[in-house]
Amino acid sequence: MFRAVSGVILRPSFHRMMRSALRSNNAQRHCSSITGRWYNLKGSYMDLSDNNGVLEGCYDTGVGELQTAPIVGFPPKKDGGTFGWVVNWTPEEGDPLTTTTWTAQCVDVRGKQVLQTTWILRSEVEKAEDRWESTLVGQDTFHRGRHEDSD
């Protein structure tokens, strides 16, 4: 079952993740740095660096048409703090413009650093009535190395 909120469809796993996060007792350790290369299980990877309070990097998507795009965002203000970044994708001719934003937290899970993220992808639409189909929401987990198990 999916739940629609202001034209956004949320998967049940999103609700479970949010409830779990709210019940968390801070037992997990947090990462001290997010700088470096991160991989997800979909074949995407990104390089992140904190340049004087600005999160910068490059995102290589493994989903759909292979594409590389710059990242800009805000790094965590403390170890284990939340942070976020944005990618404006360059479309193929005739495709709509899209932008993806991520919010994340870096935590230590069973001795391995992972980025637990929630993303929103918004595509342009021609008519306001079509906005219901313009937004996708999901979660993803990024690891420091390739081919690790998802948490």
Q: Look up the CATH superfamily of 3-22+29-143.
A: Avidin-like (2.40.128.30)
- Residue 48's pLDDT band (cuts 50, 70, 90): very high
Band of the pLDDT at 19, cuts 50, 70, 90? low
117 has pLDDT over 90? yes
**What is d(CA 86, CA 102) in angstroms, rounded to the nearest whole number?**
6
Contacts of 70-77 with C-beta under 8 Å, sequence gap 24+, read: 71/46, 73/102, 75/34, 75/50, 76/34, 76/105, 76/106
Distance separating alpha carbons of residues 11 and 140, to the nearest angstrom:
13
What single-letter amino acid sits at 40?
Answer: N
Percent of all residues in the chain with a pLDDT value above 90, rounded to a whole number: 48
